[in-house]
A and B are shown apart, each in its own frame.
Chain A
Amino acid sequence: MGFFGNRRKRAPPAEADAAKVLDHRTSDSTVTVAAKFEGKIWRELSSFLKEKGVAKYSDGISLLFAYGVTEREGIDLEKRRSELMALGSRYAAMRFKTYTLFDQNRALSIALAVMLTENKELRRRAAERGLIPHTTEPWDGWTHETVSEFHGRYLFVG
């Protein structure tokens, strides 16, 4: 059974009037339906369709019905919803991780040019004193362009 069928079956009484079929006419190959939506539901629906880039409400509503009735993959609707919820929470955790990394990288990128100069000087002095061996580090080859790339990624974000 499709989305709309299940929703209708499970909807609490308060939502029963949210959308109502006023009239329907059946011909050989089509069914014409006149429907009434509660203001709040209509606004939510309109905003959802707008968000999805559907300009014409009539197209959007037809699409929603079509998606609902073409749920033929044999996958339980509740399973789909829980998959969506699980993905949603994983996504939220990743967003937080992304934000944390971005924030740290931004702070470090601000000081990057200074850190590179400082590192060169500190390593030279430490090596001269025999405190560390002469080593090569991945950032030794970094140029002004590399620093700009970091700035572009973490500082000048549009």
Chain B
Amino acid sequence: MRSFWSQQLADMAEEYESMKQRIEVYARDNEILNRLHSQNLELARLLDEASKTGEGA
């Protein structure tokens, strides 16, 4: 039989592992969503500058 504290530790470790997996998914999503968002901002800035200077018109 597992001791009381060992069981508590095992329960928490299991919960911690599941949280770690969730963070991995969230971090991956966050990276790509931010990349998309930043690219849109950068492209809008580029096009705005180009329209002001007449570049690529």
Contacts and interface: CB of A to CB of B under 8 A. Distances in A.
Nearest to A139: B36
B10 to A, nearest CB: 10
A81 interface: yes
Contact of B3 (A70, A97, A125, A138): A70
A131 B56 contact: yes
B40 A91 contact: no
Contacts of B33: 104-105, 108-109, 112, 150
A71 B7 CA distance: 11
A91 B29 contact: no
Contacts of B6: 73, 80
The B interface is mostly helix, strand or loop, or mixed, namely helix
Contact of A129 (B8, B20, B56): B56
B47 to A, nearest CB: 6
Contact of B26 (A68, A87, A105, A115): A105
B16 to A, nearest CB: 5
A153 B29 contact: yes
Contacts of A97: 23
A89 B20 CA distance: 14
